[in-house]
């Protein structure tokens, strides 16, 4: 298996680039944001709990997302690898993920960290909010709160993986094709 974390702040292009990468490398896309939004749409108890946090731009509790990822790993035993998007987002999630992968005799091979300036992030998300229907894109206050959560709780996930020399930063501004090409070259350096 080859497992990737696509890391970066809200609006940095994780979802956009994931779509391309999973097709190219036959990976299973695991986006905790997408999984949570699907729980909300199905009005499950988990979704209703998560919605309270997501609408405010705050992180959902660790045990909720770790449980979801654990189930998703069990449900996909025969994949070429996983592409984690929006997970892990805290130190506790990183440690839990390492343990879950170890149980499956695998590990994270690379953390690709997209770098985008704050004003560009806000611009992209406000623009998407015009038609995405995502409640957390609807106003600038919530968008800035998401970025604050990233700065305070999520950024240190990169430090965690840095101690194992797994982090590569990639410029997240430019055309989608340029960014994709840089991501692919980093992946292919490590795949062989």
Q: Which residues bind ligand AP5 (CB under 6 A)?
A: 8, 10-16, 32-33, 36, 53-54, 57-60, 65, 86-87, 89, 93, 124, 128, 136, 146, 176, 179
Least separation in angstroms between residue 45's CB and ligand AP5 is 16
8 binds, among Mg ion, ligand AP5, none (CB under 5 to 8 A by kind): ligand AP5
Complex with ligand AP5: residue 1 or 126, whichever CB lies closer: 126
Name the one residue in this structure whose structure tokens are 């800035």.
144
Nearest CA among 110, 23, 97, 101 for reference residue 67: 97
Structure-block tokens of residue 70: 């654990």
53 binds, among ligand AP5, Mg ion, none (CB under 5 to 8 A by kind): ligand AP5
Complex with ligand AP5: residue 105 or 131, whichever CB lies closer: 131
The reply to whether 47 sits near Mg ion by the rule CB under 5 A is: no
Complex with Mg ion: residue 15 or 106, whichever CB lies closer: 15
Q: Contact, 69 vs 87, CB < 8 A?
A: yes
| CB < 8 Å & 24+ apart, contacts of 29-33 | 29/83, 29/85, 30/69, 30/72, 30/82, 30/83, 30/84, 30/85, 30/87, 31/85, 31/86, 31/87, 32/60, 32/65, 32/68, 32/69, 32/85, 32/86, 32/87, 32/89, 33/85, 33/86
Complex with ligand AP5: residue 15 or 81, whichever CB lies closer: 15
Least separation in angstroms between residue 78's CB and ligand AP5 is 24
Encoded one letter per residue, x for contact with Mg ion by CB under 5 A and - for no contact, window 4-23 reads: ----------xx--------
Complex with ligand AP5: residue 14 or 28, whichever CB lies closer: 14
The C-alpha atoms of residue 64 and residue 73 are separated, in whole angstroms, by 15
Measuring CA to CA, how many Å separate 167 from each of 37, 87, 92? 28, 15, 18
94 binds, among ligand AP5, Mg ion, none (CB under 5 to 8 A by kind): none
Least separation in angstroms between residue 192's CB and Mg ion is 29
The reply to whether 134 sits near Mg ion by the rule CB under 5 A is: no
């Amino acid at each position: 298996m080859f497992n990737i974390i696509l890391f970066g702040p809200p609006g940095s292009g994780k979802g956009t680039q994931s779509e391309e990468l999973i097709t190219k490398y036959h990976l299973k896309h695991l986006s905790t944001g997408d999984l949570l939004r699907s729980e909300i749409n199905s009005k499950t108890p988990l979704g209703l709990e998560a919605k309270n946090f997501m609408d405010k731009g705050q992180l959902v509790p660790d045990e909720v997302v770790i449980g979801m990822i654990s189930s998703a790993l069990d449900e996909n035993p025969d994949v070429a690898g996983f592409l984690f998007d929006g997970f892990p987002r805290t130190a506790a999630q990183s440690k839990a993920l390492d343990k879950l992968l170890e149980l499956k005799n695998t590990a994270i091979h690379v953390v690709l960290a997209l770098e985008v300036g704050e004003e560009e992030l806000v611009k992209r998300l406000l623009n998407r909010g015009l038609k995405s229907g995502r409640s957390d894109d609807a106003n600038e206050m919530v968008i800035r709160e998401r970025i604050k959560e990233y700065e305070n709780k999520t950024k240190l996930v990169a430090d965690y993986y840095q101690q194992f020399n797994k982090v590569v930063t990639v410029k997240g501004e430019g055309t989608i094709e340029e960014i994709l090409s840089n991501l692919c070259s980093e992946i292919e350096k490590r795949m062989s």
